[in-house]
Structure 1
Amino acid sequence: MKIEIWSDVACPWCYIGKRRFEAALAEFPHRDQVEVQWRSYQLDPTLPEHYDGTELDYLSTRKGLAPAQVTQMFEHVAAQAKGEGLNYRFDAVVVANSFTAHRLIHLAAVHGKQDAAKERLLSDHFEHGKDIGSPDYLASVGADLGLGAGDVAELFSTDRYADDVRRDFAEARALGISGVPFFVIDRKYGLSGAQPAASFTMALEQAWQESHPLVMAGDAEACGPDGCPV
């Protein structure tokens, strides 16, 4: 069974959704036969590599939200994150374009470290105030993941993996995805948002049953509504 997850490194609900999905997957009896693939998505592709302002400033000015409304939203999301063991610090978030970070995730995928890259970037962005648009920061993440220094350096001197990221964007549009996180199971089921773990569990079980129907091994004597055979 294959699960594709469209998400943005700069999306707070994407990290919460990742935790809730992981909780469901950990209890799924067939988890060893589930392939998870992270797909790229950008909530705001127009962001510069570095935005001169806080997350509060950004949402207030570029999204047209009242500061008090943004603050209330931060409190709500942080509380939801805390319930999943995450410590969001919106006051320390560095607003930056996530495109190159997505390219790093694609590079990590080639080396079987896609989930580790996704986890590190989300945590550093929302919990540790790291600049996900900084080449120095991204290079350090690549080094920590054991990726080749030359491969990581190519992200900053070439457009390597840029087409892969854009294909993810295009595929999201083709599937009608307009918000993240978005989970697609075997290209049959779509779950939008940071669903409760129980919702992911139900979806996993249903998708598994449909793709692995019960096989009848033959008939033998059995009791039924009309009684038992003599």
Structure 2
Amino acid sequence: MTEPISIDVWSDIACPWCYIGKRNLERGLAAASAGDDAPEVEVVFHSFELSPDTPVDFDGDEYDFLADHKGMGREQVEQMLKRVTGVAAEAGLEYRFDILKHTNTVKAHELLHFAKEHGRQHEMEERLMAGYFTEGRHVGRIDELVALAEEVGLDAASAREALESDRYLPAVRADQAQASAYGISGVPFFVIDGKYGVSGAQPPEAFAQIARQVWDEHRAAVAAS
């Protein structure tokens, strides 16, 4: 029996390219599964904080943050975000940087680990990213995170207790330590079967190609055993 392909994804809720990469991965895997003997794939998301020093309630908008954090002029930031918005639109995502609430994402990552334990990690990842980039939801505040957790079918009281107790913070730190061990310095970053590294929001066809390639390797290994 052929083992599923494992895809470990390091990303941050506040990373615009991560949401684009997620959507392109989904499209690529859907394309790869269209033919006979479709690859079996298990995707797991892992925590990566791009700006861990960001306050929960950042005083300013995304333009202010990038201008300060990257030392760019506001006009340059506007051009950059316009380009990202265009790429997101090609992936079927409607980014709204005008209403986006920049915040610290560590609690969102803790919630993802809580959701994973309850079999809802993929739904939670999607809900957090959609809320952050397209709806202007404040994903740094526990009340907002609990509301989003409830929307994907998680128990609100259990989610609140998990976030207020920091119970999943060690799991977040373990993901970050693994990223450091792998030498990951930017996200999204995809580790395929523990041996292939794919950096950046690659197009869907690139994900489809590597899924088929690795699936063929799996089948060849089974045939040789």
Normalising by structure 1, we get a TM-score of 0.90
Which residue matches 1:8?
12
Q: Deviations over 1:102-154 (max 9, x none)?
A: 11111111111101000011011010111110111101011112212232111
Deviation per CA, 1:179-204, whole angstroms, max 9, x where unpaired?
10011111110100000111111111
Secondary structure at the aligned position of 1:5 is classed as strand
One-letter code of the match for 1:131?
H
Which ranges in structure 1 are unaligned for 5 or more consecutive residues? Answer: 217-230
Cα RMSD of the aligned pairs, angstroms, is 1.6
Matches within 5 A, 1:180-199: 180-199=187-206
SS at 2:220 equivalent? coil
Give yes or no for the alignment of 1:108 onto 2:120.
no
Query: Quick one: which amino acid aligns to residue 58 of structure 2?
Result: Y
- Whether the 8 Å CA contact 2:85–2:94 is kept in 1: the answer is yes
Correspondences of 1:200-215 after superposition (within 5 Å): 200-213=207-220, 215=223
Measured in 2, the distance between the counterparts of 1:143 and 1:95 equals: 22
Q: Does 1:146 align with 2:153?
A: yes
Report the identity percentage: 44
Higher relative contact order structure (alpha carbons within 8 Å, sequence separation ≥ 6): 2
Distance 1:156 1:116 in 2: 18
Q: Secondary structure at the match of 2:209?
A: helix
The gaps in structure 2 that reach 5 residues or longer are: none
Count the aligned residue pairs.
217
The 3-state SS of whatever aligns with 1:52 is coil
Once residues 14 and 31 of structure 1 are traced to their aligned partners in structure 2, the CA distance between those partners, rounded to angstroms, is 25
SS in 2 for 1:95: coil
